[in-house]
Amino acid sequence: MTERDVDWELVTRVQRGDKHAYELLVSKYQRRITRLLSRIIRDPSDIEDVAQEAFIKAYRALPSFRGESAFYTWLYRIAINTAKNHFAAQGRRTPTRSSGDLEDAENFEDASGLRDVATPDALLLSKQVGEAVNRAIERLPEDLRTAIVLRELEGMSYDEIAAAMNCPVGTVRSRIFRAREAVAAELRPLLGTREDQRW
Amino acid sequence: MSAVHRTGRPGLADADLEQLSAWLDGELEPEQHRAMLERLKSDPDLRAHFEWFNLAGDALRSQEVAACHQPRLVIRVREALKLEPVRIGPGAASGSKVRRHLATALTIAAAAGVLVVVALPQLRSTDVVSAPAILPPGPPGPVAKTGPQLDAYFRAHRELASTGVMPSAMEYIRNSGEPDR
């Protein structure tokens, strides 16, 4: 089973009527969708509105999703279309950010190809996140650092990481978990809010 | 410090969180995978960790993406979802990817079966273009026109299109070029 299979399993659960499964997908992808929209839409409150609308539209369309593409790819297109409709509803033909961004967005798997016009606050937070991650990674023992980098940045499976690191799969699993805990612990003071206690 | 409850959250052992971490990576066996999904439905602490582990992954890949953390959005979507009717789709019939692929394979197999039953006899019979002897007696069919030019044409045609599936139509084709008398 791969990460994409996990998404597909969540999708099929939603298609069987399980709304909780959809909340997990929203939770997983909300930052990537918000990031994508933040590179197209200027007003932060509009970004959140459009993101919410995109997630609800995706939920309504989910019965027709058959898994030919990755769930995120499909969701991404819905977000782009929702942003287009947002501008159309406002009577604007082009996005407020940079002309052509929407067209560009359709050609990228994520938002990395779009021009970055983040607000100073967003830039500061982004910088702080980067520093927190670097601190966490530097403090990690070498074996944990290697395992998490191979998993999160290289996308390797546990079997592949075990072969690369010459250790059992169970050890890889434990190392990745402990590395995740360490990175999350470093991010909590920065990004944790009372709203995180929503579950 | 307890090795079991290093997280400081009662009820959540490291083993649970390690399993959650492996689940995120799609590295659990199907049975464990299903159990984890059920637990995520009912365990708010586990769901909070689900979010933090995802956030850690996002932060490692892109600090800009992680900085877009908007807990309020998830709350808003959840509230909006409450107003939505339950959506039932094809996943209701096919519970897993394996079953989905199996259904596709069965469809292809059925199509191939139909092809073998219907088309293969036709393909085989192209060698016997004029086989009136094996036809059951019935009303007289059209009489084939003859002529050296037409014969040469059909010989060449058969050589080029050896897989024709309508040999019995040849008589009609022959006659169609002739004016009715």
| Residue B71: band (very low, low, confident or very high) from pLDDT cuts 50, 70, 90 | confident
Count the Cβ atoms, other than its own, within 10 Å of residue A146: 17
Contact yes or no for A114/A40 (Cβ under 8 A): yes
Tokens found for residue A23: 């909340």
Task: Return the exposure string of A148-162: e unless at least 16 CB atoms fall within 10 Å of the residue's CB, then b.
Answer: bbbbbeeebbbeebb
Top mean-pLDDT range of B56-65, B68-77, B115-124 = B56-65
Residue to mutate among B51, B79, B87, B94, with most A CBs inside 10 A, is B87
Return the exposure string of B128-167: e unless at least 16 CB atoms fall within 10 Å of the residue's CB, then b.
eeeeeeeeeeeeeeeeeeeeeeeeeeeeeeeeeeeebeeb
For residue A121, give the nearest of B66, B65, B69, B67 by alpha carbon. B67
Is residue B54's pLDDT more than 90? Answer: yes
Put simply, whether A139 touches B (Cβ < 8 Å) is: no
Q: Quote ipTM for the complex.
A: 0.84
Query: Could you tell me which residue, A7 or B135, shows the higher pLDDT?
Result: A7
- φ, ψ at A192 (rounded to 5°): -75, 135
A180–B21 CB contact, under 8 Å: yes
For chain A, give every domain's residue range. 3-117, 121-198
Looking at residue A194, its amino acid is R
pLDDT at A170: 97
pLDDT (tens digit per residue) in B13-53: 999 999 999 999 999 998 999 999 999 988 999 999 999 99
B88 beta partners: A16
The confidence score (pLDDT) of residue B165 equals 47
B103 — phi, psi (to 5°)? Answer: -60, -40
Q: What is the dotted CATH code of the domain comprising A121-198?
A: 1.10.10.10
A111 min Cα distance to partner chain B (Å):
9
- B100 pLDDT band, cuts 50/70/90, is low
Class of domain A3-117: mainly alpha
Range with the lowest mean pLDDT among A87-91, A190-194, B76-80, B171-175? B171-175
Tokens, residue A132: 């927190």
| Statement: residue A53 has pLDDT above 70 | yes
User: To the nearest whole number, what is the mean pLDDT of chain A?
Assistant: 86
Residue B161 pLDDT more than 70?
Answer: no
Specify whether the CB–CB gap between A133 and A126 falls below 8 A. no
Task: Judge whether A35 is closer than 8 Å to chain B, CB to CB.
Answer: yes
